[in-house]
Structure 1
């Protein structure tokens, strides 16, 4: 009786690469601005998509630090609550923020904010809609 034994070469163990917070932020920001899927971006960086989703959560919670990318200032028009005319910005001393209403018009959509808002979340929304 002949016995045939087949041997296959074992694949070498995959070495995991440790990502710096800057690299994680860059990958997350790419998922928020590129229009590509998270899975596609994860594959291009040789990262599991679930890991990228975890980094996105950390990013939105402010746990990946601050991005070193330049922030662009957006033009702002201040309107009186009951008037449609553009008002001059106040020149008096700065006071504590008062919850109110805000409407931000961006190329890819409008943002309506009422009351207090998490600034990190608002920043991410504006970055996504800025176009």
Structure 2
């Protein structure tokens, strides 16, 4: 019976943990609070983990009592009674629609009334 002896290998020791000063952490957090700033990009630039930067944000923001708010803005909304397809057709767009079902073929050119098109499609398509 042969015995194979191999040397026992251990993992290489991890380097020492990096210690960042509070001033560095606060400066990093301040950079993330600028509107439009990306936390992940800032973390990459500083060579730290994104989750670490988020935890610093939580810590320093709760200490100071400030709130981290995502930039918000209002968007203009227009409510239209007609469906968008009918509005596009009414705006003067023109084109050709060719629909083939079995041996039947339907060709529509120019502006098409949405109600008529709906009626034709419901009759032709099963």
* TM-score (normalised: structure 1): 0.38
Answer 1 or 2: higher relative contact order, Cα 8 Å, separation at least 6: 1
Normalized per residue, which structure has more helix?
A: 2
Pair member with larger Rg? 2
